[in-house]
Structure 1
Amino acid sequence: MSTILKAINVKKTYAVDSRTQEVLKGVDFQIEKGDFAVIMGSSGAGKSTLLYALSGMDNIDSGKIVFGDQSIENYSADKMSVFRRKHCGFVFQQNNLLDNMSILDNVAAAGMLCTSSKKEVLSKAEKLFEKVNISKEIQKKFPSQISGGEAQRAGIVRALINDPDVVFADEPTGSLDYSNGQVVLDLLTDIHKSGQTIIMVTHDIRSAFRGNKVIFVRDGMTGGICELGEYDEKDEERKEKLRSFLEERGW
């Protein structure tokens, strides 16, 4: 496998009132093409900040973010926007669908950012909606008219519509009940099996089991990496390996 994303001594500081808070203090790791990488850590460890830095949604103070063969940390806002549009897909804890647009129009609008062919976008959307089991009837509805689980599945379709190199998922099951969370995790697992690279932030060990690599962040630094191999629901040794890894880090 080839390296698709690399963090090199990444640092990030925020201004809080009259003082500064160092959130990322020198993070180093790399993601291989086809990884389902999970970022874990306690609240305030810098997980989401790291995810946004890796995807170019947030600037860093120093270090490097290497995406494929491009160092993206110094891109202008316009260049970064174009880069994200072409190479990144995003799934958020809150689905972030636009309330005044139908589910289909939400996805189509994202797709039209990368092509002028509406026919091509709608054809691709139809296949993706079918994959996540969202009917044509639901596609016509507005976000307020569907369930949280349906909205999150629609969010996954939106994330995939432009064939991203990497899907970034920030606590994608955090606002869902257990059964809907399982559906979303199953979808992400299936997408990963098809070759999609995924980087997911979670505090939930049930979600973390889905990854083949778990990156632990502690006090703004890389606190260890656990290589799990491919997901197997029945593999108890794999589950125990992750539990032990997390317990050793005070999880």
Structure 2
Amino acid sequence: MSTILKAVDVKKAYSIDHRQQEVLKGIHLEIQKGDFTVIMGSSGAGKSTLLYALSGMDYISSGKIIFNGEEIENFSPDKMAVFRREHCGFVFQQNNLLDSMSILDNVVAAGMLCNKSKKKVLEKAAGMFEKVNLSKEIQKKFPGQVSGGEAQRAGIVRALINDPDVVFADEPTGSLDYSNGQVVLDLLTAIHKSGQSIIMVTHDIRSAFRGNKIIFVRDGLIGGICDIGEYDEEDHARKEKLRSFLEERGW
């Protein structure tokens, strides 16, 4: 497989009370196309900061982010916005759908930002809504009128509408109950099996088990990488490999 994302000595610091607090302290990382990469670590380790840096959602202090062969760390804000829109899909803990628009309009608006015709966007959205089991009645509703699981599934459709190179997911099941969380994880697993590259931050081992490569972040550095292979619910050896990897790192 080819490398789709590469971080070279990536550092990120924030200014807090006139002091520089370094969150990422020199990350070296390669992510392969088609991987379902899971970023884990304790609270404050730098997991989400790394995700935002890799996706161009946040600028780094130094180092390089190479996405599909392009060094993106020095893109202007306008160029970065276009790049993210055309190459990245985002799924967050909170679905971030616009309350003033219907579920369908939220997805269509995202698709049309890439200058696609409304007809083509609607055709693609219809197929995707069917795959995530969101009826036309649900699509007509506003985000506040549907369940958290339905809204998160709509958020996944929105993330995929522009055929992103990578889907970035930050704790996508964090605000969902167990059953809705399972539905979302099943969807992410299915789109990964179709060839989609995914990078997901989670603190939940149940969610991490869906990935094929686990990256452990500790104190702003890579504390270990574990390849556990493709998801198989019945593969107990795979589960034990992940648990052992995490336990060795004090999880």
- TM-score (norm. length: structure 1): 0.99
Structure 1 position 18, deviation (Å): 2.5
For 2:50, give the aligned amino acid.
Answer: L
Q: 3-state SS of the aligned residue for 1:9?
A: strand
Aligned sequence identity (%): 82
* Aligned equivalents of 2:74, 2:20: Cα separation in 1: 22
For 1:10, give the aligned amino acid.
Answer: V
Structure 1 position 23, deviation (Å): 0.2
Q: Which residue is equivalent to 1:135?
A: 135
* Aligned equivalents of 2:115, 2:182: Cα separation in 1: 33
* Aligned equivalents of 2:5, 2:97: Cα separation in 1: 27
Q: Which residue is equivalent to 1:51?
A: 51
Q: 3-state SS of the aligned residue for 2:106?
A: helix
For 1:158, give the aligned amino acid.
Answer: R
- Any idea what the Cα deviations from partners look like across 1:22-78, whole Å, max 9, x if unmatched? 000011111111000000000000000000000000000111101011010111101
- Pair 1:229-2:200 in alignment: no
Structure 1 position 116, deviation (Å): 3.9
Structure 1 runs, 4 residues or longer, greater than 2 Å off: none
Q: 3-state SS of the aligned residue for 1:78?
A: helix
Q: Which residue is equivalent to 1:157?
A: 157
Structure 1 position 115, deviation (Å): 2.2
Q: Which residue is equivalent to 2:183?
A: 183
For 1:47, give the aligned amino acid.
Answer: K
Structure 1 position 239, deviation (Å): 0.4
* Aligned equivalents of 2:248, 2:100: Cα separation in 1: 47
* Aligned equivalents of 2:183, 2:17: Cα separation in 1: 41
Structure 1 position 17, deviation (Å): 1.7
Gaps of 5+ in 2: none
Structure 1 position 234, deviation (Å): 0.5
For 1:98, give the aligned amino acid.
Answer: L
For 2:28, give the aligned amino acid.
Answer: D
* Aligned equivalents of 1:21, 1:134: Cα separation in 2: 44
Q: Which residue is equivalent to 1:167?
A: 167
Structure 1 position 98, deviation (Å): 0.2
Structure 1 position 235, deviation (Å): 0.4
Structure 1 position 228, deviation (Å): 0.7
* Aligned equivalents of 1:62, 1:19: Cα separation in 2: 17
Q: CA RMSD in A?
A: 0.5
- How many residues matched? 251
